[in-house]
Structure 1
Amino acid sequence: MSLSSASMTDLVQQAFAETRGRLTPQAPLGPRTWFRVGGAAEWLYQPADAEDLASVMQRLSPELPVTALGACSNVIIRDGGLDGIVIRLARGFSDITVEEDGLVVGSACLDATVAEYAAQAGLAGLEFLAGIPGSIGGAVRMNAGAYGSDIATVLDWAEIITRDGSLMRLDAGALKFGYRRSGLPEGALVIRARLRGTPDKQADISARIAEIRAARELSQPVRARTGGSTFRNPDPDISPRKAWELIDAAGCRGLKRGDAQVSEKHCNFLINLGQATAADLEGLGDDVRHRVAQQSGVQLHWEIKRIGKAEGPSA
C-alpha cells in the first residue's frame, strides 16, 4: 500500500482514540482460524459493541484497508498476513433474542448455537445451521446452506454497518441472494439478523439436529483442522456432478502438498495434517482445480475465501 508506516500509525491513532474496544498491533491470526494457518493482522480491532464499531468506522480514513473476520471457519489467511485494519466481532455481537416466530441473533453467534437456541424455543426451520461451521455474519454474507436449506430461505432482515459507519437494515430481497453469495454492500459488516422459525415440538427439532450432526460426523472430517467445503458445486447446466464427485473422479482423494491434504473422508475438504502453511493449502486447492479441469473440463470455483499476502519479500 502507498501509506508509509508512520502515516498508517497516525491514521489508526486518530480513528481509535476513543474506542472502547481492543486494538492490537501485529496480532497473530493463524490460531484464530479453523485451519490454524496464516500470518498476522497489522492491526486487529475487536469492537465493544455496534455503537463502538460505527463510531470507529466513521472516523476511519478511506485510505486504510479494512477486512472483516468472523469465526474464520471458511477462510485461508495467507502466510504474509493482512495489511490495515482487521475487524473481528465477538462478545458484543453474540446476543440472541427469542421471538414468537423467529430469533434476532448477533452476527458473532455460531451457527450451531443458533440452531440449539431455536430448538429450545420450539422453532423449526433452522436445524440446518447445526451442520454449518462458522458464525451468522459469515453465513449471511455467503448465503450459507446445507441439508436442503440456506440463509436466503429463513432471513427476514440483516442489520449492517457500512464502511462509512452508517447503520442500515436490509430485508432479504435487498440482499439479492444467490448460490453461496449475497449482494451486501462492499465493506459492510453484518451486526444482527432476524431468522424465521415455525413452531414445533422441541423434541422433534432436537431429533432432526441430532440426525444432521450424525450425518456430518459420518461424511465429513469434523475432527480435523479444516475449513468446510472448499469448492462450490458447479451449476447443473455445466455439470450434473457435485464438486466432490468431480474431485474424486480426477483422482484427488488423499492428494497432498506438504502437510495439506485432500480429505480421504470427503474430498471437497482440505485438511491441515499439522504443519501445513496457507501456501500449502491454497496450492493444493489449485492443484485440485487443475486436475479436475483436465479430467472433466469443469472449472471449480473456490468457496473458501483466500485473503492476505503471500509470505516473502516479493509478496
Structure 2
Amino acid sequence: MSESALPPVRGKLTAQAPLAPLVWFKAGGAADWLFEPKDVADLQDFLAALAPEVPVMALGLGSNLIVRDGGVPGVVIRLGKPFAKVNASDAVTLTCGGGASGILVSSTARDAGIAGLEFLRSIPGTVGGFVRMNGGAYGREVKDVLVDCEVVDRKGQLHTLGLADLGYTYRHSDLADGMVVVAARFRGEPGEPEAIQAEMDRISAAREASQPLRSKTGGSTFKNPDGHKAWALVDAAGCRGLTLGGAQVSEKHTNFLINTGEATSSEIEALGEEVRSRVKQTQGVELEWEIKRVGRP
C-alpha cells in the first residue's frame, strides 16, 4: 500500500516501521505503516478517510505483546507525547491521555493526594492498553477505578464509554478491534502522598523481587485459570527454565517468557504453546494466553 493510498496526516507516517524496538520482547517484524497522530482530530480524520478494509491496531508500550516475525499488516497506531498528559479533574479523579504510562498516572495521583491508583504503577503499559484489557495487579484492576473512557472507532467517530459499556471480565473488554482508547478518567479516594508513595514502593519492591524485570520479557504470559495460579501450573509441569531457541521460561517467575538474546517471535510463541501443551497433559488445565499475539507468522 503506497503512501498515496493513505489519507493525509498532520502527525507522522512511517512505512515498514520496525516494531521490535517498540515492544518489550525486542523481537518481531515491521508494521506496513506506523501512524503517530498529532492529536485526536488527526486520528479521527485519518481513520474516517482510511479504506475500511485496511486493518488497524493500536500499540502502547508493547509490554503484553508478541509481534510475529512477518510483521503487522495495515496501520499500527502509536499514541505519543500529545496523548501522554495526566491531570487531576477534581479531588479524587484523574483525566489521562491514552498514551500515558501507569507510572505517570500513579505518580500524578500521589502528587494530587489521590489514593487507590497505586496498583497502576505496576502495570507495564499505557492507559489505552490497560483500559482495553482490564489490566490489574495486587488485588485491583481497571474496572475498580475507571469512570469512563474516550475511544475513536474505525470510522473516526469519538465516543465516551462508561464502565458498564465495556463489558469487563478478567483481562478482557468488549472493545472492538480497531477502536483506539484516546483518554480515560480514573477515580480514587482522598489520601496522604506519603502513604501513597509507601504503597507504591511496596508494590515496586514486590515486583522487583518476584519478576524478571531486567529481562526482555512480555509480562504475564497466561491468564490465571479459575482456582489456579498460572505460574504454579507451569512450574508443576516441569517448565521452569525450559528453552526453545533463544526463548526461555523464566527461572524467577514461570509465568514469564524471556528473550535471552536473539530469540525470534516464532520461538517465543512456540515455547508458550509447548508450555500450554505440557500443562494440559500433566494437569488437564487449558492455559489461555494473556499476551496478545499479532501479525503474520
Please report the TM-score for the alignment, with normalisation by the length of structure 2: 0.98
Residue 128 of structure 1 aligns with which residue?
A: 119
The partner residue of 1:203 within 187, 191, 194 is 194
Which letter maps to 2:105?
A: V
The partner residue of 2:75 within 72, 85, 89 is 85
The partner residue of 2:129 within 117, 126, 138 is 138
How many angstroms apart in 2 are the aligned matches of 1:152 and 1:241?
22
The partner residue of 2:252 within 231, 254, 265 is 265
The partner residue of 2:210 within 194, 216, 219 is 219
Residue 25 of structure 1 aligns with which residue?
A: 15
Q: Deviations over 1:199-235 (max 9, x none)?
A: 1100000000000000000000011111100000002
1:297 and 2:284 are equivalent in the alignment: yes
How many angstroms apart in 1 are the aligned matches of 2:210 and 2:17?
35
Q: Give the alignment of 1:144-183 within 5 angstroms.
A: 144-183=135-174
The partner residue of 1:42 within 32, 44, 57 is 32
How many angstroms apart in 2 are the aligned matches of 1:84 and 1:57?
12
* TM-aligned CA deviation for residue 13 of structure 1: 2.5
Which letter maps to 1:148?
A: G
Residue 3 of structure 1 aligns with which residue?
A: none
How many angstroms apart in 1 are the aligned matches of 2:55 and 2:177?
12
Structure 2, gaps ≥5 residues long? none
Which letter maps to 1:150?
A: E
Which letter maps to 2:249?
A: V
* TM-aligned CA deviation for residue 14 of structure 1: 4.6
SS of the equivalent of 1:179 reads coil
* TM-aligned CA deviation for residue 127 of structure 1: 0.4
SS of the equivalent of 1:293 reads helix
Residue 56 of structure 1 aligns with which residue?
A: 46
Residue 84 of structure 2 aligns with which residue?
A: 94
CA RMSD in angstroms, aligned pairs only: 0.9
SS of the equivalent of 1:221 reads coil
The partner residue of 1:193 within 184, 187, 195 is 184
* TM-aligned CA deviation for residue 279 of structure 1: 0.6
Per mean C-alpha deviation after superposition, the further-off stretch among 98-107 and 259-268 is 98-107
Do the aligned partners of 2:149 and 2:161 also contact (CA within 8 Å) in 1?
yes
How many angstroms apart in 2 are the aligned matches of 1:85 and 1:201?
43
How many angstroms apart in 1 are the aligned matches of 2:18 and 2:152?
25
Q: How many residues align?
A: 296
How many angstroms apart in 2 are the aligned matches of 1:84 and 1:49?
20
Residue 64 of structure 2 aligns with which residue?
A: 74
Q: Deviations over 1:136-172 (max 9, x none)?
A: 1000000000001000000000000000000000000
Do the aligned partners of 1:31 and 1:37 also contact (CA within 8 Å) in 2?
yes
How many angstroms apart in 1 are the aligned matches of 2:108 and 2:251?
33
Do the aligned partners of 2:55 and 2:178 also contact (CA within 8 Å) in 1?
no
Residue 108 of structure 1 aligns with which residue?
A: 99
Please report the TM-score for the alignment, with normalisation by the length of structure 1: 0.92
Do the aligned partners of 2:166 and 2:175 also contact (CA within 8 Å) in 1?
yes
The partner residue of 1:244 within 224, 228, 231 is 231
Do the aligned partners of 2:118 and 2:200 also contact (CA within 8 Å) in 1?
yes
Q: Deviations over 1:89-141 (max 9, x none)?
A: 11111111112211000011111111111111110000001111111100000
Q: Give the alignment of 1:4-15 within 5 angstroms.
A: 8-9=1-2, 12-15=3-6
SS of the equivalent of 1:165 reads coil
Do the aligned partners of 1:258 and 1:276 also contact (CA within 8 Å) in 2?
yes
Residue 4 of structure 1 aligns with which residue?
A: none
Which letter maps to 2:238?
A: G
How many angstroms apart in 2 are the aligned matches of 1:24 and 1:229?
30
Per mean C-alpha deviation after superposition, the further-off stretch among 187-196 and 93-102 is 93-102
* TM-aligned CA deviation for residue 283 of structure 1: 0.4
* TM-aligned CA deviation for residue 85 of structure 1: 1.0
How many angstroms apart in 2 are the aligned matches of 1:28 and 1:16?
21
